[in-house]
Structure 1
Amino acid sequence: MASEMTSSAYISHHLTNWTFGAHPENGLGFAHTAQEAAEMGFWAIHVDTMLWSVGLGMFFIWMFRKVAKAATSDVPGSTQNFVETIIEFVEDNVSSIFHYKNALIAPLALTIFVWIFLMNTMDLVPVDWLPFLAQKIGEAFGADPHHVYMKVVPTTDINATLGMAFAVFALILYYSIKMKGVGGFLAELAFQPLGKWLLPFNLFLEIVGLLAKPVSLALRLFGNMYAGEMIFILIALLPFWAQWLLSVPWAIFHILVITLQAFIFMVLTIVYLAMAHEDH
């Protein structure tokens, strides 16, 4: 694919989502160019992000359910060992950070860690393989190959990371109000950290700090994964021998990145929900 495009067109093509929405001029349909995708505005749907994120989420549920149904107290298989290791790892982190009774936190942390890890792992698939397959499928249905887009790493889409971060933010607000009451929650915003005489300043600090939580969750994950994807794309523009020389070391290093980003998102979620349960 890289040999058929200029470098800038190749990069732009790989960074453009498969977008469905209402174009101001062409009406409802799929975007044919990156500019059309941008012009569709807020209500456009990134079909590839939805496809891969939902698909990987279903794979996570299927795999863990299959292991749970086949679990044995005898000598476990390698898959059961692997799943149990992940569950124990998550449980250890939850128990060390979250010291309240809430049956949701551990399953939520497990879901976040595994789901984000699976989405991040798609970054290790060679950048042209799945887009090339999508291109061939599109050609079979009469589509222009240069208008077939397929981004396979959902966490490189700011919409996906913001969606997850806002879901966590909604839980933060819910548990803050549930545990402290509306009055207690508003009192924390109004009277901390400098007392009632500096209420406007307290509100400013606390609201900014509160809103920074989902923004930091979303941007940290998006920024790291987007940068990693960009490096893979740039490597793909190099000669064939240079691609293998550089892509393998970068992929090995990137395994640490994709795992660390899933871990950070999980831990911060646990920390923020623990803070929501604290009553000052």
Structure 2
Amino acid sequence: MASENQTSSEYISHHLSNLTFGNHPVDGWGFAGGQKAAEMGFWAIHVDTMFFSILTGVFFIWLFKKVADTAVSGVPGNLQNFIEVVVEFVQDNVKSIFHHNNPTIAPLALTVFVWIFLMNLLKLIPVDFIPYIAGEMGLPYWKIVPTTDINATLGMSFSVFFLIIYYSIKVKGVKGFAAELSLQPLGKYFIPFNLFLELVNLFAKPVSLGLRLFGNMYAGEIIFILIALLPFWIQWVLSVPWAIFHILVIVLQAFIFMVLTIVYMAMAHDEHEH
């Protein structure tokens, strides 16, 4: 429930602020949120984003290792069945999109899909539950969904971008990659124009990839927060249907990020004639 000591705008601002650590001293510890956090500059760290992204990543590794260590060839349990379905689902997508020989792509796609799904899934926890516990522990801000932080989504998307550059150069060589950027789509007589178009297209990939995930998850978070401001009996009427619908959004956004990652990796491996 929204705090009685906060206005609606203060409540929304509080729930959308990260616990930030940087070089702007607050209460002797360097933690802040909101405007003071913005003053810390580029190297400030969103502690809550880092905590929950690492936590879900460790959980992902532990869960899949546990299933791998206890897997049976006979009649599998429900958890093994579920994990096998997820793995086969990712493998099918990789096989249908990526037609090259690179054993790294399938594990990359699986990691992207499951990790983002787990981070998105945190959104289904009631918006006041974890912040209330954090407040009781003396933490003024504690935002729990890493994918509602643009720093996290752009961090993941630019990691994919660096892999695009790496595999483009590895497969095509520096000369081949440079030719791809400068000789398409209009040929060697329009190199400056080609280079401009291809560079814009190249850098648009990570930006759109990160912003798409952030925008959808951030918008959903705002809806949950607005619902929490309503009277208690109306909250249940609205929050349950929205949460059920948001399960689809959570899975869909993880799926889109995974598919686009596979597509971009395939494009990095494709060689073009110039």
TM-score scaled by structure 2?
0.97
* Displacement after TM superposition at 1:54 (Å): 0.2
Letter aligned with residue 116 of structure 1 = I
* Displacement after TM superposition at 1:23 (Å): 1.5
Paired residue for 2:243? Answer: 251
Q: Distance in 2 between matches of 1:24 and 1:236?
A: 32
Paired residue for 1:36? Answer: 36
Identity %: 71
- CA displacement 1:142-170 (0-9 Å, x = unmatched): x6xxxx10000000000000110010000
Aligned ranges for residues 174-189 of structure 1 at < 5 Å? 174-189=166-181
Q: Distance in 2 between matches of 1:273 and 1:136?
A: 45
Question: Contact 2:117–2:250 at 8 Å: present in 1 too?
Answer: yes
Q: Distance in 2 between matches of 1:235 and 1:37?
A: 26
Aligned ranges for residues 72-111 of structure 1 at < 5 Å? 72-111=72-111
Letter aligned with residue 158 of structure 2 = F
- CA displacement 1:56-97 (0-9 Å, x = unmatched): 000000000000000001111000000000000000000000
Question: Contact 1:2–1:236 at 8 Å: present in 2 too?
Answer: no
Question: Contact 1:169–1:213 at 8 Å: present in 2 too?
Answer: yes
Question: Contact 1:21–1:28 at 8 Å: present in 2 too?
Answer: no
Q: Distance in 2 between matches of 1:267 and 1:239?
A: 40
Task: Select the residue among 202, 220, 226 that pairs with 1:228.
Answer: 220
Whether 1:19 and 2:11 are equivalent positions in the alignment is no
Letter aligned with residue 29 of structure 1 = G
Paired residue for 2:61? Answer: 61
Paired residue for 1:47? Answer: 47
Aligned ranges for residues 2-13 of structure 1 at < 5 Å? 2-13=3-14
* Displacement after TM superposition at 1:2 (Å): 2.7
Letter aligned with residue 209 of structure 2 = L
Question: Contact 1:217–1:265 at 8 Å: present in 2 too?
Answer: yes
- CA displacement 1:96-126 (0-9 Å, x = unmatched): 0000000100000000000000000111100
Letter aligned with residue 263 of structure 2 = V
Letter aligned with residue 12 of structure 2 = I
SS at match of 1:22: coil
Letter aligned with residue 96 of structure 2 = S
Q: Distance in 2 between matches of 1:84 and 1:90?
A: 10
Q: What is the total number of aligned residue pairs between the two structures?
A: 271
SS at match of 2:135: helix
SS at match of 1:113: helix
Which 4+ residue blocks in structure 1 deviate beyond 3 angstroms? 24-28
Q: Distance in 2 between matches of 1:96 and 1:181?
A: 26
* C-alpha distance 25-63 of structure 1, shift in aligned 2 (>3 A): closer
Question: Contact 1:94–1:106 at 8 Å: present in 2 too?
Answer: yes
SS at match of 1:85: helix
Paired residue for 2:210? Answer: 218
Paired residue for 1:198? Answer: 190
Paired residue for 1:125? Answer: 125
Letter aligned with residue 166 of structure 2 = Y
SS at match of 1:226: helix
* Displacement after TM superposition at 1:28 (Å): 6.5
Question: Contact 2:184–2:194 at 8 Å: present in 1 too?
Answer: yes
Unaligned runs of 5+ in 2: none
TM-score scaled by structure 1?
0.95
Aligned ranges for residues 267-278 of structure 1 at < 5 Å? 267-278=259-270
SS at match of 1:192: coil
Letter aligned with residue 73 of structure 1 = S
Q: Distance in 2 between matches of 1:68 and 1:25?
A: 46
CA-based RMSD of the aligned residues comes to 1.3
Letter aligned with residue 45 of structure 1 = I
